[in-house]
Chains A and B, each alone.
Chain A
Amino acid sequence: MSITNKAAIVGIGDTPTDRLGSKPGEPRKSSAEYIAWAMQLALEDAGLSLKDFHGQGLGVTIPTAYPQPFWPEEVSEILGITPGFLLGGATGGAGAVSLIGGMSAAISAGLIDLALVVGAAAPFSEHWGGGIQPGDMRDWEIPYGTMGPNSKIAMVMRRHMHEYGTTLDHLGKIAVTARYHASLNPLGYLRTPMTIDDYKNSRLVADPVRLFDCVMPANGGKAYILASPERAKTLRKKPVWVKGFGERSNPSYGPRAGSDALVMGVKDAGRVAMEMAGVKHKDINFLQLYDDYVIVVYLQIEDLGFCKKGDLKFFEDTDFTFKGQLPIQTGGGIINCGQPSTAGGVHHILEGVRQLRGEGGERQVANAKIGLISGLGVLPYGKNLGCCAVAILGNEV
């Protein structure tokens, strides 16, 4: 079974990133406002209206600290939609890409012929509180004084440097490339170009993880619209087709109680997606990789099979800019454009769509036909990332 060419992305909406509420007295917006704004932008882009979505698909990314347990239904109410197929994106930062799979499958099966996927968060403007929920983090991590995902990714990064001799120069190249692309993206937030030395001299957050290794939390909303081939052909923009999809949650490489923490589930999610799409590595014109940390982008390039594990020379020799052999993070990634919680995962999809439409402006990848998008979520106890989803998009049937 395959969903190749059974659904297309026909509209995108991306609110400008802000961090309002980080200083006292600043005006604030709610998640509801960002969601509505992102939806309006996507409807305008596609040439659709709210009424078109009654009885259709609605997908909502579930933020890490979410207002209430029935958030997707609440979002239906905020937007005034009566969905015929309602899904929550419950795979953390991978949710946005997971919903490409779920909604394309539903469209392919004929349950719906349109789907709106929205996500938003306002971590600086809204304070949902929360507290620590039951699970490994509460019982086996926090009692030792772990400081969230930074602590675990720092251990992954140090281990990679130890096993393969990876240096800050190798990693810094990724960070500098993404920032360069953000400088060319009007929707970027951190847009001042930086050097490898700027990266190396940034503050240590969780040794060896530095400030410019980390994603930047932000407020914002993002949306995309999927349509069946019949609907897609009648809409405003050139369709961007879903060519392949793969997902692996709770991946483990080696025994589950002691997995290889340097291998990510994109290894298998990517293989499945590429096989479905019928594409080889040489066919892929760009990568938009979920970037909660620089080392995570680096690992994905290895695990997707663009080089062997620990092939430092590949990273030294490859130009990852939009003009290079393997363009990555052409919009700047969420490290530079901001991460509104799990809605950050939508960023990579939207940038992929822009490139495939030829709307990449100053950072347009020449003759882009096929792009690979990844989403990642959750850092489990003893392993690398827990939810990995990969989609292959293309602009030709």
Chain B
Amino acid sequence: MAELDVRKPLPAITPEAKTFWDNAAEQKLTIQRCQACQAWVWTPKPLCNECGSDKVVWTPMSGKGEVYSFTVIRQVVGRAASKSFEPDIPYVIAWVDLEEGPRLITNIIGCPVDKVELGMKVTVQFEKASEKIWLPKFKPA
């Protein structure tokens, strides 16, 4: 039987996201904020999505938020799916709203899948995915 390919897909470190990943490797969650209109900009962009200003600055976040919604992955399906996630099943994909506002797609970790609830308070925990990539995930606060 063929070996399961356990290498998980990694994000590309694009120019606009490099600072995010550099900070994440130091366990710091940062998000761009517009200096002209104070809007949060996420995912990383070359300009403010609200007012068009290019004065967007990486800003430290509290790392606290709450679960806006979630799903439990119990099966690897679909064209874009990777078999590398099979050993993790069941696991939780969530939309987490940071207390500052932006919404992230992430995993809820450190919690049984049947204990995850909408509105649950969570806090960031970085998980190493490669030498350069630490993924921000969230655990119960």
Contact = CB atoms under 8 A, between A and B. Distances in A.
Nearest to A383: B103
A205 B78 CA distance: 11
Given A156-B69, A257-B40, A146 B74 contact: no
Contacts of B5: none
A267 to B, nearest CB: 19
Given A144-B135, A145-B82, A146-B105, A138 B118 contact: no
B127 to A, nearest CB: 10
Contacts of B40: 255, 257-258
A147 B73 contact: yes
Contact of A134 (B12, B73, B79, B81): B12
Contacts of B14: 134, 139
A134 B91 CA distance: 25
Interface residues of A, number: 41
Contact of B103 (A136, A143, A258): A258
Interface string A245-257: 0000000000111
A395 to B, nearest CB: 39
Nearest to A207: B72
B39 to A, nearest CB: 6
Contacts of B135: 143-144
Given A147-B81, A151-B71, A138 B11 contact: yes
Interface string A139-153: 111111111111110
A155 B78 contact: no
B95 A155 contact: yes
A207 B80 CA distance: 19
Nearest to B39: A255
Nearest to B118: A162
A145 B73 contact: yes
Given A155-B95, A256-B49, A132 B72 contact: no
A84 B41 CA distance: 42
Given A137-B80, A151-B71, A257 B49 contact: yes
Given A150-B77, A257-B49, A145 B70 contact: no
Contacts of A314: none
A143 B76 contact: no
Interface in A200-218: 204-209
B85 A158 contact: no
Nearest to B94: A155
Interface of A: 65, 130, 132, 134, 136-152, 154-156, 158-159, 162, 204-209, 255-259, 261, 381-382
Given A146-B80, A255-B40, A381-B105, 12 more contacts: A139-B12, A139-B14, A139-B17, A140-B43, A140-B105, A143-B11, A147-B78, A256-B41, A257-B31, A257-B41, A261-B69, A261-B103
Interface of B: 8-12, 14, 17, 31, 39-43, 49-50, 68-82, 85, 88, 91, 93-95, 97, 101-107, 118, 129, 133, 135, 137
